[in-house]
């Protein structure tokens, strides 16, 4: 009589990684990597604050103003996977430093721009170099903290900055725009990059993939074109989902990404090995990342509109009003990093989206009168708690036990899901907002009060939808993200230094 073998718990495959755990100054290195993460994250919101002044100074049209945001997202989102693979093959340290130098130069070009064309070129270059810098930084972090509780703490810091950096950008952008000028919202990247470069040169150890390092050119062309089409399509959806300018790029993007998957299945050395994304745990983490990226756009972008348009806050006041969420994330991150070794990731990544969703739902009850303490503060605090519970373990889970050969491209995939999610969120929420405002104005007499009430009605609809999307991350985490604690703490096999 045979006995069936007990079902083994789902685990992430064993990796082959470079063991950097002995780095004597790894915590100082973490500070450098965190600084680079902060620069990339805050740059999306700091420029948004500066746009009205930049539009006036450069004589931009409303369409050009939109492109200042779109061209950055287009370059960043479409080049991420290629940037991650370049970091793997060319060297993560080299890619990090070149990405940082390029980002600083592009920021300088944008900061002294005297025409719309110059600013748009600078923003595109920023996105391209960010696509090299971001996955390189995350891959270096993954290899420097390959296992144990130190890894959890390091990813907690990195995740907290990813969650709160956008709000920091709002504050910094408000300060610079009000007290200096809009140009410094770009020029401020230069001293940040200079510090990171000078500190990174002696601190970062070079590492690169070994074995087959031939580039998958068909895959690279397909994924860049496909992701660019998807990001562009969603950016155009803000003006309407039924327009050919929206439908055609999205359809082309879907076709190209489908062909990309088919090519990667047959490639001998694929740009994105499907094992990176088809593992159940990682797939769940990527999906949660995309949902969080989508919902967070609704929280920050439209909450900022509410502060400035309805409540009449200055850019600086709007940024300060967003700080409680960032402060909550920073306070909660150490707590969640301390309990993960004992509790695991499944519970916080399931409860976190529920708490964050309740915060977004609370914000849907805002009014034209706008009592910040009662209508806004509880919502952003709940949102901060929920985001901390998700962001602290998220990247750790997505990159746990990743093979050294794939560290860069896997890191790029994490960032890409957030970037694509943000593009989807911006388009979806703008369309929902516009529909709600039109519906309200169509059923009420036109007046200044009715217009503000229409705006608030639109913001409320956005917050409800954002809450729903955030809530979807809870069942995804519960059913898909079920790693053993060993997946987060086990010491992986050592490989050779790059």
Three-class DSSP category at 95: helix
Q: What is the structure's pLDDT at 3?
A: 42
Q: Quick one: which of 140, 184, 191, 225 has its CA closest to 402?
A: 140
Calculate what percentage of the chain has a pLDDT beyond 90. Answer: 52
| Block residue for tokens 């909450």 | 303
Per-residue pLDDT tens digits for 30-43: 999 999 988 988 88
Mean of pLDDT over the chain = 87
pLDDT at 207: 92
The domain limits of the chain are: 21-215+271-491, 216-270
Query: Which residues are CB-contacts of 33 (< 8 A; sequence separation ≥ 6)?
Result: 137, 138, 140, 141, 158
Q: Is the pLDDT of residue 17 over 60?
A: no
In this model, does residue 117 exceed pLDDT 70?
A: yes
State residue 366's pLDDT score. Answer: 96
> What are the tens digits of pLDDT across the range 484-493?
666 665 444 3
The residue with tokens 């200079």 is 194
The answer on pLDDT for 8 being more than 60 is: no
Radius of gyration (C-alpha) of the chain in whole angstroms: 22
Q: Report the DSSP beta bridge partners of residue 16.
A: 493
pLDDT at 21 over 80: no
State which fold the 21-215+271-491 domain adopts: Growth Hormone; Chain: A; (1.20.1250)
What does the pLDDT read at residue 387? 94
The answer to whether residues 282 and 276 touch, using CB atoms and an 8 Å cutoff, is yes
Are the C-beta atoms of 103 and 39 separated by less than 8 Å? yes
pLDDT digit string, tens, across residues 293-324: 899 877 788 998 899 889 998 878 888 898 89
pLDDT in tens, 136-164: 999 999 899 887 888 888 988 888 887 77
226 vs 21, 124, 129, 251, 460, CA distance in Å? 37, 17, 19, 10, 33
Mind listing the pLDDT tens digit for each residue in 356-396?
999 999 999 999 999 999 999 999 999 999 999 998 899 88
Split at pLDDT 50, 70, 90, the class of 213 is confident
Q: Which residues of 276-295 are buried (b: 16+ CB within 10 A; e: fewer)?
A: bbebebbbbbbbbbbbbbbb
Q: Are 36 and 96 in contact (CB under 8 A)?
A: yes
CA distances to 296, 325, 429 from 302, rounded to whole Å, are: 10, 15, 9
């Amino acid at each position: 009589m045979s006995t069936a073998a007990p079902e083994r718990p789902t685990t992430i495959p064993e990796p082959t990684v470079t063991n950097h755990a002995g780095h004597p100054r790894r915590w100082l290195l973490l500070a450098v990597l965190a600084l680079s993460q902060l620069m990339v994250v805050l740059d999306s919101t700091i420029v948004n604050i500066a746009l009205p002044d930049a539009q006036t100074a450069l004589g931009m049209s409303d369409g050009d103003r939109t492109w200042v945001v779109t061209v950055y997202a287009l370059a960043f989102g479409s080049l991420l996977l290629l940037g991650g693979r370049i970091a793997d093959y060319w060297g993560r340290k080299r890619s990090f430093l070149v990405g940082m130098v390029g980002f600083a130069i592009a920021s300088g070009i944008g900061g002294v721009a005297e025409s719309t064309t110059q600013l748009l070129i600078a923003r595109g270059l920023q996105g391209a170099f960010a696509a090299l810098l971001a996955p390189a930084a995350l891959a270096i972090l993954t290899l420097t903290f390959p296992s144990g509780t130190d890894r959890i703490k390091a990813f907690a810091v990195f995740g907290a900055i990813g969650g709160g950096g956008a709000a920091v950008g709002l504050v910094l952008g408000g300060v610079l725009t009000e007290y200096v000028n809009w140009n410094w919202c770009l020029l401020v990247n230069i001293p940040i990059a200079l510090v990171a470069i000078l500190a990174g040169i002696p601190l970062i150890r070079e590492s690169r993939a070994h074995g087959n390092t031939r580039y998958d050119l068909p895959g690279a062309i397909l994924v860049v074109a496909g992701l660019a089409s998807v990001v562009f399509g969603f950016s155009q959806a803000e003006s309407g989902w039924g327009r050919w300018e929206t439908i055609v790029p999205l359809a082309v993007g879907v076709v190209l990404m489908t062909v990309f998957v088919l090519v990667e299945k047959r490639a001998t050395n694929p740009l994105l090995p499907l094992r990176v994304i088809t593992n159940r745990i990682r797939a769940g983490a990527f999906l949660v990342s995309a949902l969080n990226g989508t919902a967070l756009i609704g929280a920050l972008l439209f909450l900022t509109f509410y502060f400035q348009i309805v409540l009449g806050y200055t850019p600086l006041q709007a940024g300060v009003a967003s700080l409680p969420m960032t402060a909550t994330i920073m306070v909660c991150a150490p707590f969640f990093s301390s309990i993960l070794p004992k509790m695991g990731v499944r519970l916080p990544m399931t409860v976190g989206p529920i708490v964050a969703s309740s915060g977004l739902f609370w914000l849907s009850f805002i009014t034209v009168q706008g009592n910040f303490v009662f209508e806004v503060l509880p919502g952003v605090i709940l949102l901060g708690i929920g985001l901390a519970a998700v962001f602290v373990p998220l990247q750790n889970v997505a990159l746990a036990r990743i093979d050294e050969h794939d560290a860069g491209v896997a890191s790029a995939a994490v960032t890409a899901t957030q970037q694509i999610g943000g593009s989807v969120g911006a388009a979806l929420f703008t369309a929902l907002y516009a529909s709600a405002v039109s519906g309200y104005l169509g059923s009420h007499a036109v007046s200044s009060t009715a217009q503000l009430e229409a705006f608030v009605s639109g913001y409320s609809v956005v917050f409800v939808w954002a809450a729903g999307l955030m809530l979807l991350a809870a069942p995804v985490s519960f059913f898909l993200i079920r790693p053993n604690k060993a997946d987060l703490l086990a010491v992986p096999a050592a490989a050779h230094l790059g």
